[in-house]
Chain A
């Protein structure tokens, strides 16, 4: 007989979980494994709310197993390390992102691209090596294998750094891989949410010219004055689109709803690249003519490897890049999810786990 979540591991844990596809979260007692030789255990202080958490708890991708404790932008302080752990010690500020495991031996893993391993294990909602389900960061403690733990740089604020563990790496990785980092380049960012706002900050840190592309004219002021974008383009305005045709070297598309690709392809220069990061449930339509007539490219990217995630955090600390956040107590999470579904947040909610989770214990 399968053990209950409370009994399957020796160490008690407490968090909030969704029980069904309504996505409603509520207090949940479960358990974590003992700190193994290669494991790092830490007390969770903050956890970012990623839009993927919302997709997952509502089973929008069709792969949910309940109860589900979401959260993969987790930061905290180390409480215990296994005997073989070399990189971390008790008291260190650390984080865990979207991955907690992979096969560690395939070509992708050997290239430090665990995010493309066919056997990758996500931080929540997946079977772990021992067969139990993984539970994420809306919880008091976390245990992860050392390889999947990153150091939070000293000068990085913990709460505002948490969203970098998913949103940050998801935009940093393609900016580097597709070469959108040469000073003087012109990069478009589609969508001003959790991913989009961090993308603007990283792109400016790389010294490129940035245009924010959005359907909402109301976001212009913030984009330019607060985030530092060089220009703003309303994608529903045909005149603005026309004026910007053929001006961009690359575009990062962070929008997760289905939307027309044709206007975006038109914004690219010849040889330009459109990188898709949002994953809608339905396929897009790809007008082949637009790719062919300018030798343009559409590509995708998914989070990043662990080595790259650490590199991203160090780069962010050096350039004072962190997320713009709204800190919320644990019991606000269902309201936060409702607001997130309407895009009503600038630009990431972060749950103050350390100060508000234990108060919700029944």
Chain B
């Protein structure tokens, strides 16, 4: 007989889970595996609320198995180490992002690209190597193979650093891979949410000119005065869009709602690159003419490898980049999810797990 979530592992754990596609989260008792030789056990202090958590609890991608404990922007303190773990010690400030496992032997894993391994295991809603489901960071502890644990730099605040573990790496990786880092070039960031606001900060750190492309006029002031963007383009204003045609070297499209790629492609210069990182649940409209007539390119990217994630964290610490967050209590989570679905957050909720997750 299949064991219940509470019984399947030896270590007791507590968190909040969604039980059905309403996505409503509530207290949930479950368990974590024994800390193995390669493992690190983390007492969770904070966990970011990623839009993917919302997609997942409501089963918008059709792949959710309930009960689901989301959360893949996890930071905390090491409380236990396996015998083979040498790079961490008790008390270290660490993080866990979107991945907790992969095959480790395929070509992509050997290239430190665990995020493209066909057998990768996500931090939640995936199946572990032992056949049990993975549960994420809206919980008190997590046990993770050391390969997938990141070190949080000393000068980085834990709460504002948490969202970098997904939002940060998701924009940093393609910016590096697609060469969107030449100082003086012009970057457009479409969508000013969790991913977008970090992309603006990274863009400025790389020495780029940054234009935020958004449908929300009320985001202009913050975009320029707080985040440091050079310009703000209201994409519902035809005159402004016209003036921006053929002006951008790169665009990162963080928007997960359905939209046509036509207008964004038109804003690119010749040979321009549009990188899509948002995950809409239906296909996007792709007009071919602008692609062909300007030798433009649309690329995708999915989070980043672990080595790259550490590199990103160190880069952010050096440039004082963290997320802009709203710290919330665990029991605020359902309200936070509703607000998130209306983009009513500047720009990431982070759950104060240690101080508010009580049984």
Contacts and interface: CB of A to CB of B under 8 A. Distances in A.
A298 B291 contact: yes
B292 A288 contact: no
Bin the interface of chain B by size. 20 to 34
Given A285-B285, A286-B284, A288-B276, A276 B298 contact: no
Nearest to B297: A299
Contact of B300 (A107, A116, A296): A296
B317 interface: no
Contacts of A286: 261, 283-286, 298
B278 A288 contact: yes
B293 interface: yes
A294 B294 contact: no
B243 to A, nearest CB: 16
Interface in B294-319: 294-302
A292 interface: yes
Interface in B142-183: 174, 177
A293 B300 contact: yes
A295 B283 contact: no
A283 B286 contact: yes
Contact of A177 (B261, B277, B295, B302): B295
Interface string B3-24: 0000000000000000000000
A116 B284 contact: no
B91 interface: no
Nearest to B300: A291
A279 B298 contact: no
Given A279-B292, A300-B288, A291 B283 contact: no
Nearest to B61: A289
A270 B108 contact: yes
A356 interface: no
Contact of A289 (B116, B174, B177, B279): B279
Given A283-B287, A300-B292, A302-B293, A292 B298 contact: no
A113 B293 CA distance: 12
Q: Is the interface of B mostly helix, strand, loop or mixed?
A: mixed
Interface in B238-270: 260-262, 270
A188 to B, nearest CB: 18
Interface centre among B113, B174, B286, B295 (most CB of A within 10 A): B295
Nearest to B304: A295
A49 B156 CA distance: 64
B289 interface: yes
A262 B301 CA distance: 16
Interface string A163-184: 0000000000000010000000
Contact of B270 (A116, A290, A295): A116
B207 interface: no
Contacts of A59: none
B277 A276 contact: no
Interface centre among A116, A300, A302 (most CB of B within 10 A): A300
B280 interface: yes
Contact of B301 (A283, A295, A300): A295
B261 A270 contact: no
Nearest to B283: A285
A78 to B, nearest CB: 31
A299 B265 CA distance: 11
A279 B284 CA distance: 17
Interface string A300-313: 11100000000000
Given A270-B108, A270-B116, A279-B289, A116 B298 contact: no
A302 B291 CA distance: 9
Contacts of B289: 279
Nearest to A174: B295
A287 B291 CA distance: 16
A17 B180 CA distance: 48
Contact of A300 (B174, B277, B278, B293): B293
Given A116-B270, A285-B286, A292 B276 contact: yes
B292 A296 contact: no
Contacts of B279: 288-289, 292
B288 A279 contact: yes
Nearest to A282: B287
Contacts of B297: 297-300
A298 B262 contact: no
**Nearest 5 pairs of A and B residues by beta carbon:** A291-B300, A300-B291, A300-B292, A292-B300, A299-B297
18 contacts: A261-B286, A270-B108, A276-B292, A277-B292, A278-B288, A283-B287, A285-B285, A286-B286, A286-B298, A295-B299, A295-B300, A297-B297, A298-B291, A298-B298, A299-B297, A300-B288, A300-B294, A302-B292
Interface of A: 107-108, 113, 116, 177, 261-262, 270, 276-280, 283-302
Given A295-B177, A295-B300, 13 more contacts: A107-B270, A113-B270, A261-B286, A270-B113, A279-B292, A283-B285, A286-B283, A292-B276, A292-B300, A295-B174, A300-B288, A300-B294, A300-B295
